[in-house]
């Protein structure tokens, strides 16, 4: 597979791994069947950790690989960059309990996605210390599941202040630990942003108008704003975000391309907002979707 350009890794629940697929030593007295499927046992569970890169590439690593995407659940542990080189990748998607050594550099990386990640010490080190030496054009995050890494203000500031300062596309889904102030500040530092998708779950605040900070180059805006089930609604703050979206995006010149938005139903009946927005979108040639959209957003 010397000409391989893309590797996508999915969970495999059937079959027996090859003998060279382990990243821990086998016991010297292991029987053949044990060597084919070796696991460490506890009283109630069996675990296996695969180093699939070594199994796939027992010889030389792929020299032309540009894209590497993991589609794993949180219970799957994967050792990354045992054989695949990090310095040539342009696209990287990380999910599951990903493990990789510190200090790896990604000079060619332009597109990074994090979905349901439980590994790579994202809670312990700033993002630019885990992914080093790149200039991203796009960044996408989705929490994916309840126990996964949650993006916070510090993570967002680390991204925008370092490897993501030239972003043209930013996707943030299932965010409940990012403040509106951090969004306002960070979005104001992205003058080249053309695509922004945000699914925000409010807990205690929505004080700052981050929509007003969006780049004048923004072409596509997707917003989903709702409160956590245990938190009080913030209808006044949500209404201000709607007003700002109309003023700073729908009525902007030159016209943007697309707006997808979901907010609570009561905001659409206030002051004839829904009818006015639909008329504006038709008049100005803007694609408008009112309702859920996150299921169609790929991360």
Give domain status of residue 296, yes or no. Answer: yes
Give domain status of residue 254, yes or no. Answer: yes
The model's pLDDT over 68-101, given as tens digits with 9 standing for 90+, comes to 999 988 888 888 998 899 999 999 999 988 888 8
- CA–CA separation, 96 vs 295, rounded Å? 20
- CA–CA separation, 133 vs 94, rounded Å? 17
Show the CA angle centred on residue 90, arms to residues 88 and 95, nearest 5°: 105
Q: Which of 168, 174, 161 lies closest to 193, judged by CA?
A: 168
**How many distinct structural domains can be found in the chain?**
1
- CA–CA separation, 215 vs 224, rounded Å? 19
Measured CA distances, 282 to 63, 265, 277, 278, 289 (Å): 49, 21, 9, 6, 12
Give domain status of residue 281, yes or no. Answer: yes
Residue 49's pLDDT is 56
Give domain status of residue 201, yes or no. Answer: yes
Most confident of 27-36, 58-67, 137-146, 244-253: 244-253
pLDDT band at 124 (very low <50, low <70, confident <90, very high): confident
The model's pLDDT over 136-181, given as tens digits with 9 standing for 90+, comes to 999 999 998 878 889 999 999 999 999 999 999 999 999 999 999 9
* DSSP of 214-225: S-TT--EEEEEE
Give domain status of residue 118, yes or no. Answer: no
Q: Which domain holds residue 257?
A: 168-176+188-299
Residue 133's pLDDT is 94
Residue 293's pLDDT is 98
- CA–CA separation, 52 vs 39, rounded Å? 15
Give domain status of residue 250, yes or no. Answer: yes
The model's pLDDT over 20-51, given as tens digits with 9 standing for 90+, comes to 444 445 455 544 433 333 333 233 344 455 57
Residue 34's pLDDT is 35
Query: Burial, 184: exposed, middle or buried (Cβ in 10 Å; 0-12, 13-18, 19+)?
Result: middle
Give domain status of residue 257, yes or no. Answer: yes
Give domain status of residue 274, yes or no. Answer: yes
- Phi, psi for residue 181 in degrees, rounded to 5: -65, -45
């Amino acid at each position: 597979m010397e000409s391989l350009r893309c590797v996508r890794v999915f969970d495999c629940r059937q079959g027996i791994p090859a003998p060279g697929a382990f990243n821990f030593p086998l016991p010297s007295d292991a029987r053949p069947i044990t060597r084919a499927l070796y696991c460490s046992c506890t009283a109630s569970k069996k675990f296996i950790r695969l180093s699939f890169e070594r199994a796939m590439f027992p010889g030389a690593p792929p020299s032309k690989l540009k894209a590497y995407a993991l589609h794993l659940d949180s219970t799957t542990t994967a050792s990354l960059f045992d054989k695949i080189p990090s310095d040539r990748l342009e696209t990287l998607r990380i999910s599951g309990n990903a493990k990789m050594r510190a200090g790896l550099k990604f000079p060619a990386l332009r597109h990074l996605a994090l979905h349901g990640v439980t590994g790579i010490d994202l809670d312990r080190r700033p993002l630019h210390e885990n992914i080093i030496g790149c200039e991203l054009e796009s960044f996408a995050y989705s929490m994916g599941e309840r126990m996964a890494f949650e993006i916070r203000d510090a993570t967002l500031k680390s991204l925008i202040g370092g490897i993501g300062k030239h972003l043209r596309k930013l996707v943030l889904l299932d965010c409940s630990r990012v403040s509106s102030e951090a969004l306002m500040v960070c979005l104001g530092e992205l003058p080249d942003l053309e695509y922004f998708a945000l699914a925000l779950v409010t807990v205690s605040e929505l004080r700052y108008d981050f929509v007003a900070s969006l780049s004048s180059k923004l072409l596509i805006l997707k917003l989903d704003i709702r409160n956590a089930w245990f938190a009080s609604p913030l209808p006044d703050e949500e209404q201000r975000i709607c007003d700002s979206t109309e003023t700073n995006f729908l009525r902007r010149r030159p016209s943007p391309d697309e707006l997808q938005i979901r907010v609570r139903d009561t905001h659409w009946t206030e002051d004839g907002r829904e009818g006015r927005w639909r008329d504006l979108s038709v008049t100005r040639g803007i694609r408008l979707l009112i309702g859920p959209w996150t299921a169609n957003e790929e991360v």
